[in-house]
Amino acid sequence: MSHPKEATLSRGSYAETKRISEIMRKESVGGFILLAATILAMVLANSQAAHFYETIRDTKIGLEIPGFSHLMMNVHHWAADGLLTVFFFLTGLELKKEFVVGDLRNPGKAIVPVAAAFGGAMTPAIIYFAINSSSETAVHGWAIPTATDIAFAVAVLASVGTALPAALRTFLLTLAVVDDLIAIVIIALFYSNNVKAWYLIIALVPIFAYFWLTHKQERLFHQHKWAAWVILLPLGVLTWALFLESGIHATIAGVILGFCVPVRITEQTRQMGSKHSLSESLEHRLRPLSTAICVPIFAFFSAGVAVGGWDGLTAALSDPVAIGIMLGLIFGKTIGITGTTWLVTRFRGVSLDPDVKWIDVVGLAITAGIGFTVSMLVAELAFPAGSAHTEDAKIAIMLASVLAALAGSAILGARNKHYKAVALKESVDANHDGVPDVFSDDSHKPKQQGGSYDI
């Protein structure tokens, strides 16, 4: 007997919505820290302290080790090539978790956010390429507007969409996770130069050791927190250094190592009485480091662009590169995500969940036009250091992100009354297993023996 197809953007499983809720809460804090770092960088770069800021950013530090010629870099490059590896490691963990134990393992649930992510990446790239088709900037910069900054986007949702339904939260985060995967593939395939295969072959040794240790010696890393820092971190640093020398962007090493970590609760873990996989344990330890230090430092040294007053801003925004990025992020993301979601919904012969309207999808799609961290990184990879296009691209990314945040906030904020009604409904409705939704208020939180659910 065939079962009816589930409506698009319907509520996910209890475990999945609970996990998504936890991630959204953490990322919202990261978004506000990121915003503070960005504003500080812009203030310093456009004030009398600009020389001091640029001196720190361009100061070279590092080591000279035979066989490793790229370990002497300026502070800005250390932030982009080094600190962001922690962010990409967490991205690798999240990607593997989504495809192994998350809702993405279910093709029926995965098809909409996956398709929306591809539509939201492809459409901005097409718009950018069309505007810059007569210049070589089309070839170099097409990937800049394809990315979504989940931390900033979640911060917007936390500010205005206080009661956003679980399904919409899950849709945005899942879309952003797939979006990150697309960005990773783009960086690896299109922004790698003079690849030296021998370094990649040698890198297989620490990668294999990392994989073996995390799977066969998992008990050690659960019982002793120091073990990950003393054993896994050196292997990670060695892998990162080999990727740096290979010509493949070094942050890809973080993604690969993230994929090496087991995401299921193994028999070793159960015997210890632990309720968390090694992936969850490492994420718990590293998420604050990435959120509060690594990504904000990258933003601080990347976002410090000297605008040059109104004339400078006008000149920057007249660059076809900036125009393509802005139109790509604001309109490309909106059209790509909304249009693809509509097409997949029609193709499957289903409709939106009754609690969700198309204006909600449009609001999320516009919010997904906040492209910052990865967009900034790709802009620096796309154009040579000191290029005017790099500065123009960064100005366009920041301005487009602000406009996307404002537009998304206006739409989602106007719908907040409806969201609160849905949240009230979710708080009293039970799932098929009898467990109420995690987004209930305190008066409706499900109780376990010994206390409430930890969400």
CATH of the domain at 124: 1.20.1530.10
Q: Domain residues for 434? A: 27-441
- Is residue 353 within 8 Å of 101, Cβ to Cβ? no
**pLDDT of 429 higher than 60:** no
Q: Output the average pLDDT for the chain.
A: 83
Strands (DSSP E) found in 71-195: 72-74
pLDDT in tens, 288-318: 899 889 999 999 998 888 887 888 889 889 9
Give the gyration radius of the chain's Cα atoms. Answer: 22
Helices and strands counted in the chain (H then E): 23, 4
- What is the distance, to the nearest Å, from the Cα of residue 405 to the centroid of all Cα atoms in its chain? 16
pLDDT classification of 48: cutoffs 50, 70, 90: very high
DSSP 104: G
Between 2 and 108, name the one with better pLDDT: 108
- Using alpha carbons only, give the angle 197, 201, 207 rounded to the nearest 5 degrees: 135
Distance CA 417, CA 311 (A): 42
3-state secondary structure of 147: coil
- DSSP code per residue over 10-70: ----HHHHHHHHHHHHHHHHHHHHHHHHHHHHHHHHTSTTHHHHHHHHH-EEE--BTTBTT
* pLDDT band, very low/low/confident/very high, at 26 (cuts 50, 70, 90): low
pLDDT number for residue 231: 95
Please compute the mean of the pLDDT values over residues 347-358 and round it to a whole number: 81
pLDDT band at 369 (very low <50, low <70, confident <90, very high): very high
CA dist., res. 300 & res. 38, Å (int): 5
Report the C-alpha gap between 187 and 143 in whole angstroms: 9
Contact 138, 323 (CB under 8 A): no
Q: Is the pLDDT of residue 347 over 70?
A: yes
pLDDT (mean) for 29-54: 89
Give the pair of three-digit tokens for residue 267. 């028999």
The answer as to whether 10 is a domain residue is: no
Query: Do residues 123 and 137 make contact, with C-beta atoms less than 8 angstroms apart?
Result: no
What is the count of structural domains for the chain? Answer: 1
> CA 161 to CA 413: how far, in whole Å?
6
Q: Is residue 446 part of a domain?
A: no
Does the pLDDT value for residue 166 go beyond 90? no
Within 13 Å, how many C-alpha atoms sit on residue 406's CB side? 6
Whether the predicted pLDDT of 249 surpasses 50 = yes
Question: Is the confidence at residue 422, as pLDDT, over 90?
Answer: no
DSSP code per residue over 264-322: S--HHHHHHT--S-HHHHHHHHHHHHIIIIIHHHHHHHHS-----HHHHHHHHHTSHHH
pLDDT of 439 reads 39
**Residue 176 falls inside a structural domain:** yes
- For residue 356, being part of any structural domain is answered with yes
Residues 6+ apart with CB under 8 A from 449: none
Separation between Cα atoms, residue 128 and residue 123, nearest integer Å: 9
From the list 376, 187, 245, 368, the residue with the least C-alpha distance to 298 is 376
Element (H, E) at 145: none
Which distant-in-sequence residues (6+ apart) come within 8 Å of 230 by Cβ?
A: none
Q: Is the pLDDT of residue 401 over 50?
A: yes
Residue 155: inside a domain: yes
Both structure tokens of 288: 């604050």
What are the C-alpha distances in Å from 434 to residues 423, 428, 429?
A: 17, 11, 9
Query: What pLDDT does residue 27 have?
Result: 66
Polymer length in residues for the chain? 455
Q: Which of the pair, 154 or 364, is modelled with greater confidence?
A: 364
Residue 454 belongs to some domain of the structure: no
Single pTM value for the model: 0.82
- Residue type at 261 in one-letter notation: V
pLDDT band at 268, cuts 50/70/90? low
* Across 322-326, 356-360, 361-365, least confident range: 356-360
CB-neighbour burial class of residue 342 (10 A; exposed 0-12, middle 13-18, buried 19+) = middle
**CA–CA distances in Å: residue 125 to residues 60, 205, 297, 325, 362:** 34, 37, 28, 9, 19
- Is the model more confident about 424 or about 240? 240
For residue 20, is it within any domain?
Answer: no
Does residue 8 form part of some domain?
no
